[in-house]
Structures are given as structure tokens and as C-alpha cells.
Chain A
Amino acid sequence: MVTPNIIDSDPKTESLRIISVNETPSLTSSYGKVAAGVIRRKRPMAVSLPGTCWETTDVISRQLVDDYNTLLSASGDVGHNSAPSLTAHITAFGLSTAMMAERGFPLPLLGMVHLQHKVWHMSDIPIDQPLRIATWAQNLAPHHAGTTVEIWVQIFDPTTDKLLWQSMALYLSQSVKLPGAEQPPRPAREPFRPPAMTAQWHLPKDIGRRYAAVSGDRNPIHLSNITAKALGMPSAIAHGMYAAGRMLAGRETPAPYTWAIEFASPMRLPTKVAVNYRHANDRQLITGWNARKEKLNFAAEIRLH
């Protein structure tokens, strides 16, 4: 049985300086800004977190929910009159990315590896209603392959200040080492033994472009082999969050529930992902792997509360 190994962390918002943003910045402009920075060789100045919390007011639009459901409906519709968990992530992602694209951010945005993602979907989220979105970075930590950072997002009902949804994304930068910090050794991991296949996802070569069209996340590594190779990837890879959406499709119950996914290796497009779903007591475990190479792609879980 493969279980996701998610870090145990709590949101820490004390003493963060609030930066209010009028409008969620577009992802394309953030990537462009970073790309320009790379060309001009602007290196991040410090290896400490900026201590800011970015805030904005935005809506999860009906259009986004429809587009998202259309993309994933072939694998099981969500079917509730509230926002699917991933549309909250998509809506907030622009703000998080803009924060990470800032010059003062200690880890370079491009080349950042998404290691894991955890979501607490506490309440149903209304569609087309204003939401207060906050994002910040915490816990810069040494990793055997570089440095990790947690990017947190919280989404509130602006009238009641009730926390509806929060997420923690763990990213790895392989190009930065924390000065003075000791690199932990690579943890021993049991060799992957593929479980029985219960499903198979056929990911076509354009799935990166299709998810990009819905999410706005046009990170070049997902769009085509040429753009991916330009960034040092062997070929285009699927968005990790597409895999998350796929495993949630048809399984999102009314809130509350939590889910988490740990990414083990990229899904190179096009590909067939062998998938195992199983119930284990209070949770559903989902494992995705490459059957030919017997290589784990991701391990995930959904917990209903």
C-alpha cells in the first residue's frame, strides 16, 4: 500500500505584513517577469522569507467551474452547486505566483519542483461570490536536494471572515542551499511495488495545453516538448494539479473534506497512468504510476470528515 507522506505543518500568519492587491495578477505576467529576470541574471538577494501576506478579493467564476467540469467531466462530474476544490486553487494561484515572482522572494520561481499539496476544504465555497484570498510563504527548510518552502493559501467569506478553504503547497528549489543549514540525508524509501490497477488515465499530448487553458497556468514545461526542453525538461509533463483534479473527479462530497497528493515523478506526455483506488478505513488512497517503468508518479489520499 502506498500512502502519501505529507509534512505535518500548521498555518502561521502572526507578524506577517499584509500587502493588499486590487486584482489577482495574471500568471502569464508573473512567468514573464521571472523569465525577464533570468535573462537579466537578477538573483534573489536574500535567503530569508519576506514576511509578507498577500491579500486580494476575487471570485471563483461560473465560467471557470464550467470549464473545469468540462475538462474533467469525462472522468466523473463534481455535480455540486459549489466550487470544486481545484477551482479554489486555480483562482488563488495567480496571487501566490505573483508573490513568488517578486524580487525579494528567496527561491527562483522557474525550476521550482512541486513536491506535495494538501487542501483542507472546510466549507462549500460559493460560485461568483466575492472571496477574500490570502497567501504567504513559511518554513524555509533544508532538503537533501536543496531548499523547500511552504506556500499557504486561505480563502475566507469576506462578510463573516469564516475560513472556507486552505491549502499548503510544498515546493523544492534545487538551486538554492540555505546558508549555515545542514542538508538532511535523502530519506530511505521503500522500493515501489505497484498495486493492482483499478483504473487507467490516458493523458494525451495536449492535456497540458488544455489544463493551461482552463487554469491559466501556462508554465512552458506543460505546454509542448519544445517549450519544456527550453527549460531543461526531457519533454512536456502533465500539471501535477491536473492529476489532483482527476483523482478528485466524481469523488468530491459536500464539505468538509481534506485531500493531499505527493508527487514522486513527473508524468511525461503523452502517457498512460496506471491508477489504484482503495478504501482504507476513513480515507481513500489513490496511487498513480507508470506501468511500463514501474515508477511511482504520485500517491494521494482523500479524507471525508
Chain B
Amino acid sequence: MTSTSNAASAGGSLRPAVVLGGNRIPFARAHGAYAGASNQDMLTSTLEGLIARFGLQGEQLGEVVAGAVMKHSADFNLTRESVLGTSLAAHTPAHDVQTACATGIETVGGIANKIRLGQIDSGIGGGVDTISDAPLAFNNEARELFMQLNRARTTQDKIKVAMKLRPKHFAPLAPQAGEVRTGLSMGEHQALTTHDWGVTRHEQDEIAMNSHKNMAAAYEEGFFNDLMTPFRGLDRDNNMRPGSDLESLGKLRIAFGKQLGEEATMTAGNSTPMTDGAAAALLSSEDWAQKNNLPILAEFVDFEVAAVDFVNGQDGLLMAPTYAIPRILDRHGLGLEDIDFFEIHEAFAGTVAATMKALADEDYNKNVLGRDKALGQIDPTKLNIKGSSLAAGHPFAATGPRIVASLSKMLHEKGPGSLGLISVCAAGGQGAVALLRGR
């Protein structure tokens, strides 16, 4: 239970929040292996795997926070319902978070903040998403008619309303792939940014190839053995293509930015596919870890969110992390050269390349970010060395906890004091970045 005497929220000092480990189910390409699984199925299984790994059966944790980007309205208490389905004590509270692809960083960061403040001693931050079981809704006109039908008092009134129903009212409204305010899909937005930064097809295909190769190597060395629980017949991400090479990637057709003609560079190979899956990370105070005899992998030092003005064409949709990264590094007096591992979420290979180019660009740093000089170059040998979303896939809210767990393990292996930086871009022109330190 919470030690109340010295909690920062009661006037004491802040304490570190540490990552003890994580768990995920393999990610599956949409409409495939997990087609029959709901968000709750996947999140519950992921949590249960984590509980089993850390012997938390019957334990009451401080809080479990998770979320899904694509969520049925009936799943308003998705995380609490999932917790009730696990072997955690029923007294473990839970809440949901939803901030597009940054959801998973926000859930882990929220848990870390509460631990640092002394409000809780332990918690799980997680995320889950399914494309295969995405919510479909009645369209606006149909919903209005059904509401009228519901409000109608007399049979005559009900018939009057029912007569207005037409076949078109039964065409469901699928979740929008596009940005509400621009009408462009995320891929189309990234195609513009990719083009603006002059990112070549070769650069993107190379990032994609490395993602598959790095992740395949990580599987081979058993890196994911204590980070994953098999689910529905999968024991590794089924999007991963270990044999990916520049030749096969180079043959793929253009998927986004076709209006750019010859200058279009984005394909299904260097863009992340729609995926189903879930991930979670276990965090606690140092005391709690000690009491429960659990090894500490890393400290969750800090996180930062940012947003850009893509609506007015001022910024690229997925460039918010370029604002957040300098801010979090400045806050801790760090530079890019101090970071041992960069985990830049591969929404698209172009996002990773454009982010790196922007951070190294003198003009962009001065005129857009308002800095004295460029933040610097990111060493590509420190980037996504265990693979990232292009290989694993990207079940939106699950990506943050996936990276937090993997990076914590990498930092622990690297040694105490090593530093890792996570960058996750999100719909709506937002982004979240996090700083972790190895223990």
C-alpha cells in the first residue's frame, strides 16, 4: 500500500518510477490471426501474461491504465473490465486513456507520474488495438432517425419515423482513416512530409529492411522470450519478413502520394500495415520492487508531448516529436550524443527519416523550433536496433508499451546510466516522447 508519510503529493520529495518488465502478445496483420479477438480479449491475455511472469496473482496494484484508439462505445471501461478478467485483486483500479498512437506512452507516463508523486507504488501501463474488430456505427442520418424513433410516443409516430428508413441508412460508418480537418489519410500526409524533406525511396526501403532484419535477429537471440506471451497460435509477429531486402522492397508499387508522380516514394513495404495486438509494461517504486524481490530494468525518467499545426499546412502531420525531443533533452541537460538507444516509432519509414533530418537541420531548428542551432544527427547504428513497427506492426495504442518494455530491457543489458529515447507520432498532429535510464 502507499507509504503516505513522505509522498511528494503530500509535501515529500519525488521518487523514481522504475520499469520492471513488460509483456505483449505477438502482433498480427489485420483480418488475420486475431480476426475473432476483441480488444478486451487481447488486453486481458496480455495483462494475464504479465501477471504470470511477475507472480502478481491476487495482488492489488496501485492502478492499471490502458487504452485503445479504435474502441467500441460499449468498451468505455475497457481497462477495468479487462482487469476484472485477470487474476489481479478486484480492488485494483483502472482507467482508460485515448490519445491516438501516443496512447501507450501516455498510459505508461501517467502511471510513472503517480508513482513518482507517491500516489501509487505499482501499476501497469498498456495499450491494445484491433482493426479486425473495429467499431462500426450507424451513419448520422440513421442515428438521428433511430433517436427520433426512440423519442416517438405513439405507434402512429413510430410508424411515421420508421417509414423514413431507407437502405442507405443501414450502410455502416467505418472509423475514418483520414484526418478530420484535412481529409488526407495519414499516409497521404506523410507522403507530403517525406517529399518536403527530400527523403529518397532508397533511404526508406533501407529503414524498412533494417527493421525486419533487426527484429528477426532479436527473435533469434531470444530477446523477446520474456517480453511476449503466445496468443491464438502466434508466437511471433506475423508481419515480420526476415528475408526483406532492398531488391524486393524496391519492386513494390507506390501506395501514398501518387499525385507526386515520379517523386512519390512511399510503398506498402516502407509503411506500417494495419495490425491487431496488445502490450503492457509493469512499473513501480524502487521500494515496491525490492519488497517483491523483482529486478529493476530501467527508470522511466520523463515524458513530453507536443502538437503541430498541420491543419494550416505549417507543419507535417507526424512531426510533433521534433518539437518534443529537444524540449525533453533540454530539460535534462542532455544532447543527442548522450543517448544510447533511439526508439523512433516507424509509422512510416519516411516519418523516421524526416524526423532525423529535421532535428539535424539548421533552418528548421532556428525558424520552426526557435532554437539557436540544430539539435544534431542521430547515429543510425543506435536506431531501432531490435526492430520497430515496420516489422512488428503497429496496433496503435500498443506500440508505446511495446517500446517501453523492449527499451528497458536493452538499457538494463547496456548497463546502469545508459539512456534511451522514445519518439511516437500520433494522429491529430500530436506526438509523445519519453526518456528512460538503464539500471
Contact status B312-A75, CB under 8 Å: no
Q: Least Cβ distance of B20 to chain A in Å?
A: 43
C-alpha gap A202/B311 in the complex (Å): 16
By CB atoms of chain A within 10 A, which of B188, B192, B259, B312 has the most?
B312
Q: Which residues of A contact B259 (CB under 8 A)?
A: 197, 274, 291
B180 contacts A75, CB within 8 Å?
A: yes
- With a CB–CB cut-off of 8 A, which chain B residues contact A197? 184, 192, 259
B36 close to A (CB within 8 Å): no
Mask: chain B, 179-192; 1 = CB below 8 Å from A; 0 = not: 01111100010001
Does B333 sit within 8 A of A, measured CB to CB? no
Interface string of B159-185 (1 = CB under 8 A from A): 000000000000000000000111110
Question: B196 CB to closest chain A CB, in angstroms?
Answer: 8
Using known A-B contacts A198-B313, A276-B313, A278-B313, determine if residue A75 contacts B192 with beta carbons closer than 8 Å.
no
Given A76-B181, A199-B184, residue A279 in contact with residue B312 (CB < 8 A)? yes
Within the assembled complex, what's the spacing in Å between the Cα atoms of A37 and B27?
Answer: 68
Residues of B close to A75: CB separation below 8 A: 180-181, 183
Q: Is the CB of B311 within 8 A of A277?
A: yes
Taking CB atoms, residues of chain B closer than 8 Å to A202 are 183
Bound CA–CA A198/B182 (angstroms): 7
Taking a contact as CB atoms under 8 Å apart, the answer to whether A199 and B182 are in contact is: yes
Q: Does B310 touch A at the CB level, under 8 Å?
A: yes
**Interface presence of B367 (CB below 8 A):** no
DSSP class of A's interface residues: helix, strand, loop or mixed? strand
Please give the distance in Å from A179's CB to the nearest CB on chain B. Answer: 47
Smallest CB separation, A249 vs chain B (Å)? 8
Give the size category of A's interface with B. 20 to 34
B162 to chain A, nearest CB (A): 21
Report the separation of the CA atoms of residues A131 and B311 in the bound assembly, to the nearest whole angstrom: 34
Which residue of A70, A74, A200, A250 is within 8 Å of B184 (Cβ)?
A: A200
Q: How many chain B residues have a CB neighbour from A under 8 Å?
A: 15
**Bound-complex Cα distance A84 to B188 (A):** 30
Give CA–CA (A277, B182) in the complex, Å.
10
Which residues of chain B from 270 to 311 have a CB within 8 Å of any chain A CB?
310-311
Given known A276-B313, A284-B312, contact A198–B183 (CB-CB < 8 A):
no
A192 within 8 A of B: no
Complex CA distance for A270 and B313, rounded to whole angstroms: 25
Q: Are A278 and B192 in contact (CB under 8 A)?
A: no
Most buried by A among B182, B196, B310: B182
The reply to whether A250 and B181 form a contact with Cβ atoms under 8 Å apart is yes
Determine the distance from Cα of A171 to Cα of B183 in the docked complex, in whole angstroms.
Answer: 30
Question: In this assembly, does B150 line the interface, its C-beta being within 8 Å of a C-beta of chain A?
Answer: no
Shortest distance in angstroms between A294's beta carbon and chain B's nearest beta carbon? 10
Residues of A contacting B196 in the complex (Cβ-Cβ under 8 angstroms): 196
Cβ-defined contact, B192 with A199, below 8 A: no
Query: Closest Cβ of chain B: how far from A108's Cβ, in Å?
Result: 36
Residue B140 at the A interface, CB < 8 A? yes
> What distance in Å separates the Cβ of B96 from its nearest Cβ neighbour in chain A?
24
* Cα-based distance from A70 to B140 in the complex (angstroms): 8
Compute how far the CA of A75 lies from the CA of B178 in the bound complex, rounded to whole angstroms: 11
Chain A residues closer than 8 Å to B154, beta-carbon distance: none
Any chain A CB within 8 A of the CB of B155? no
Is B314 located at the chain interface by the 8 A CB criterion?
yes
Report the nearest A residue to B311, measured CB to CB.
Answer: A277
Chain A: CB-nearest residue to B259? A291
* Residues of the B chain whose Cβ atoms lie less than 8 Å from the Cβ of A76: 180-181, 311
A-chain residues with CB within 8 Å of residue B183 when the two chains form the complex = 75, 199-202, 275
Beta-carbon nearest neighbor of B168 in chain A:
A206
CB <8 Å contact, B312 and A278? yes
Evaluate contact between A198 and B312: CB separation under 8 angstroms.
yes
CA gap between A278 and B314 in the complex, in Å: 7
- Interchain CB contact under 8 A, A199 and B314: no
Q: Who on chain B is nearest to A202 by CB?
A: B183
Residue from A197, A201, A278 whose CB has the most chain B CB atoms within 10 Å: A197
Contacts of A276 in B (CB 8 A): 313
Of B192, B311, B312, the contact of A196 (CB 8 Å cutoff): B192
Residue of B nearest to A284 (CB): B312
Chain B 85-103, CB within 8 Å of chain A: the 1/0 string?
A: 0000000000000000000
Binary flags per residue of A36-67, CB closer than 8 Å to B gives 1, else 0? 00000000000000000000000000000000
Contacts of A198 in B (CB 8 A): 182, 192, 310-313
- Where the two chains meet, the residues of B that have a C-beta atom closer than 8 Å to any C-beta of A are 140, 180-184, 188, 192, 196, 259, 310-314
Q: Report the 7 A-B pairs with minimum CB-CB distance, sorted nearest first.
A: A198-B313, A199-B182, A200-B183, A277-B312, A277-B313, A76-B181, A200-B184
- Give me 11 other A-B pairs in contact (C-beta within 8 A), A200-B183, A279-B314 excluded: A70-B140, A76-B181, A196-B192, A196-B196, A197-B259, A198-B313, A199-B184, A199-B313, A274-B259, A277-B311, A277-B313
A-B contact pairs, 14 of them (CB 8 A): A70-B140, A75-B180, A75-B181, A196-B192, A197-B259, A198-B310, A199-B182, A199-B183, A199-B184, A199-B311, A200-B183, A200-B184, A201-B183, A284-B312
Interface positions of A (Cβ within 8 A of B)? 70, 74-76, 196-202, 250, 274-279, 284, 291
